[in-house]
Amino acid sequence: MARPTPPPPGPDRDRTLAARPRNRPRYAEPLADLAGSFMKSEEIQRLRRFQRAAGALKATLTEKQRARIKPILLSGGQLTIEVADGPLLAELRQHVEHALLAALAAEGTGISRIAWRLMRSRR
C-alpha cells in the first residue's frame, strides 16, 4: 500500500502531519536533569583540570613564552605541550619543567608528567 503524498506546505499539510500516529509520547525533559548530568560528565571534569593547568602555566611561564606554546592534550596524568621552536623547547625542558610540575601539583591538577613536542611548521 503506497503512502499518500502530503499536500504542499500550508495548513492542510500541517493537519495531515499532525494526524499521523506517533510511536511514543514526546515528553519534555527537565532542564535541571540535563544540566546536572552534563556538569558531572567526564568532559567537564577534564575541562576543569585543564583550566587549573592553564592557571599554573600562567603563573610559571612568562607572557612571551606562553605566546609560543600550546597545551594540546591532558590525559592519564600527562600534559602534552607543543612548542614553537627548538631553543624555547630546550629552555623549557631544562630550566622551567621542574617549577611547572610543582605549580601543577600545587593547583591540584593531577598532572605528574609533561610531554614536550615541536609544532609543525606552517609553510
- pLDDT of 27-63, one tens digit each? 777 778 778 887 888 778 777 878 889 999 999 999 9
User: Which class for 27: exposed (0-12), middle (13-18), buried (19 or more C-beta within 10 A)?
Assistant: exposed
Predicted pLDDT of residue 57: 93
Reading phi first (left if > 0) and then psi (alpha if -120 to 50, else beta), residue 6 is in: beta
- pLDDT of 63-80, one tens digit each? 999 999 999 988 888 999
pLDDT of residue 123 exceeding 80, the answer is no
Count of CB atoms within 10 A of residue 111's CB? Answer: 23
The Cα–Cα gap between 60 and 54 comes to 10
Flag whether the pTM goes above 0.85. Answer: no
Sequence letter at residue 59: A
Residue 53 has which C-alpha cell? 593547568
Predicted pLDDT of residue 67: 94
54-88 in b/e form (b: 16+ CB < 10 A) is: eebbeebbeeebeeebeeeebeeeebebbbeeeeb
E strand segments, 1-123: 69-75, 78-83, 113-118
